[in-house]
A and B are shown apart, each in its own frame.
Chain A
Amino acid sequence: MKEVYEVRMHARAGQGAKSGSQLLAEAAFKEGKWIQSFPEYGSERRGAPTVSYTRISDKRLRTHEPIVNPDAVLVFDPGLARTIDVTSGLSEESGILIVNTTDSVDEVKKQTGFNGKVYTLDATGISLDLLHIDAPNVPMLGALIKVTGIVKLESLEEVIKEHFLEKLGEEKVNKNIEGLKRAYEEVSK
């Protein structure tokens, strides 16, 4: 793995990308990494486009610049690609694009103009099925770690439990973990 691994998440406010970037960072933190998780703040309202970042490193992180050349990009709503250059700075040789969509990989390539490694996942479908809400963040993380291996599945499970057990209760936490694992299995190339 690279010395510093950088992830950018494009979503709509309310889809949980800020939490997603933090859950990912905390999972890496558990594995002894240096981490940063930070969102880009605009004028917040549900449905507005958001960007969140995660940096994971073996050495102490000092920089506080935004991520412009991410190693992986997660797109929580495929509609965002119509107005935002979601693959900006993403290398077609080494970069990874994961989109929450029911479209095929080829269709996503056409929509984004990105011809590197593309993966798709119906994260919204998984979330609706298990939790009856559109919260694709946890499934998207499942796909990311399957494709990249940047953190272990168990680390993320642990972090999800820590964050949500008190707030959501055991049943919903278990559903979230089920969503994480389903995404881990279902992500397609």
Chain B
Amino acid sequence: MSTWKALTGAQAVAEAMRQANPDVVAAYPITPQTPIVEQFASFVANGIVDTEMIPVESEHSAMSCTVGAAAAGARAMCATASQGLALMWEVVAAVPGLRLPIVMPIVNRALSAPINIHCDHSDAMGATTIGWIQIYSENAQEAYENTLLAIRLAEHKDVLLPVMVMQDGFIISHGVENVEVFDDEAVKNFVGERKPDRYLLDVDHPYTIGPLALPDYYFEIKRQQEAAMENALKVYLEVGKELSKISGHDYPYFEEYKTEDAEAVIVILSSAAGTAKDAVDELRNEGKKVGLVKPKLFRPFPYREMRKALEKFKAIGVLDRSMAFGAYAPLYTEVRNALFESENRPKLQSYIFGLGGKDIFKSDIKKVFDELLSGNLNPEEQRYIRLRG
């Protein structure tokens, strides 16, 4: 039976980790990820899980330990945020090529400089090109469920790729909400045990991991990684269907909210999507035909499905919580890409909001919708929400 608890997003992810009972967790505390590791360490200390917890001296070591454990055949997890992700980057970038199914919760936080501990998506959006699967969560409940889904997705034999599971720093990680924690046994059955085809500690079947690959085979190995990403699109849905049996929730690539007859929609990730849904409801009450699309799976990006979902609208505003400095913002770029093949491209507008934890209110979202409905749009211009003049 499932249990309702009052949990922070960080605690909710720790609950998922408790139920998955990984063999190894190596992590270094960093704001605002710290409470995940703190809570999980208490599970270890109290004997609730039998995980080998390795406190390390830096994030670089944390990911190095996690890689070593995963290569040895363990289910190994890590968790980090912002500067921590930046510090472990060298090893993070190696994981997809090593084909190690590491799941790493990320508590999204702005990157220095200037130093800032609050939420934006700069940390994870900087890691979209290196082969990690990325799933974004709106609230504590989704962070919990996405973590469970990620374990099965990462370890699937057709995928074998690492996954980052995102939640918004402080807004979700430190906010207490109602969370439905599913039955321990049901979850344990769902995540099962990691059963790798090959692993370093299997001394009867030795294999090489992380060899030198010169121009002869490097390219081919990278091409296989891309094939695994393509497979991940299919496996994500399959694993999601299985999880649905426990949770009763759906796991689509993206959530469509009141889009059926919508003229203007916004595309937005994570916690701000919750605020935006309330704005959509209020505008619907005023008779305005507005809706929302919230991507969940960002890598691999479901271009075809996104095009089909979006091409019917007149105007689309894409709200990014990070910038790509000198290029279109990350989410906006993907929406543009998805719509290129469309016969009837909607009018697009890019917005940046919430960098370094700048608040976003329903009233801001309503202004965006008003602008989208007014038609005063310029797809080549980036607009800024709540930026001081």
A residues lining the B interface (CB < 8 Å) = 22, 25-26, 29, 34-39, 41, 60-66, 68
Q: Which residues of chain A have C-beta atoms less than 8 A from B172's C-beta?
A: 64
Interface check B17, CB cutoff 8 A = no
User: Are A36's CB and B278's CB within 8 A?
Assistant: no
Interface pair A35/B177, CB less than 8 Å apart: yes
Instruction: For residue B5, give the distance in angstroms from its CB to the closest CB of chain A.
Output: 8
Rounded to whole angstroms, the CA-CA distance of A36 and B177 in the bound complex is: 5
Residue of B176, B178, B272, B278 near A38 (CB, 8 A) is B176
Within the complex, the shortest CB–CB distance from B207 to chain A, in Å, comes to: 46
The complex places the Cα of A68 from the Cα of B271 at a distance, in Å, of 18
Interface of chain B: mostly helix, strand, loop or mixed: mixed
Q: Check A29/B278 contact, CB under 8 A, given A35-B176, A38-B176, A41-B174.
A: no
Find chain A residues with CB under 8 A from B117 CB: 41
Closest B residue, CB atoms, query A53: B175
B277 on the A face (CB < 8 A): yes
A22 and B176 contact, CB distance less than 8 A? yes
- Which residue in chain A gives the minimum CB-CB distance to B270? A64
B178 close to A64 (CB less than 8 A): no
B178 near A35 with CB under 8 A, answer yes
Residues A26 and B174 in contact in the complex (CB < 8 Å), given A62-B275, A65-B275, A68-B361? no
Are B6 and A66 in touch, CB under 8 angstroms?
no
Instruction: Give the nearest-CB partner of A30 in chain B.
Output: B6
With an 8 A cutoff between CB atoms, is B221 at the interface? no
Q: List 24 A-B contacts (CB under 8 A).
A: A25-B6, A25-B176, A26-B6, A26-B176, A29-B4, A29-B178, A35-B178, A36-B175, A36-B176, A38-B171, A38-B175, A38-B176, A39-B174, A41-B174, A60-B178, A61-B177, A61-B274, A62-B277, A62-B278, A64-B168, A65-B361, A65-B362, A66-B361, A68-B361
Select from chain A the residue with minimum beta-carbon distance to B178: A34
Give which listed residue, B4, B6, B118, B171, contacts A64 with CB less than 8 A.
Answer: B171
Q: Give the CA-CA distance A143 to B343 in the complex, in Å.
A: 63
Bound together, the chains give a CA A34 to CA B170 distance in angstroms of 19
Whether, in the assembled complex, B359 has its beta carbon less than 8 Å from a beta carbon of chain A, the answer is yes
Cα-based distance from A68 to B360 in the complex (angstroms): 12
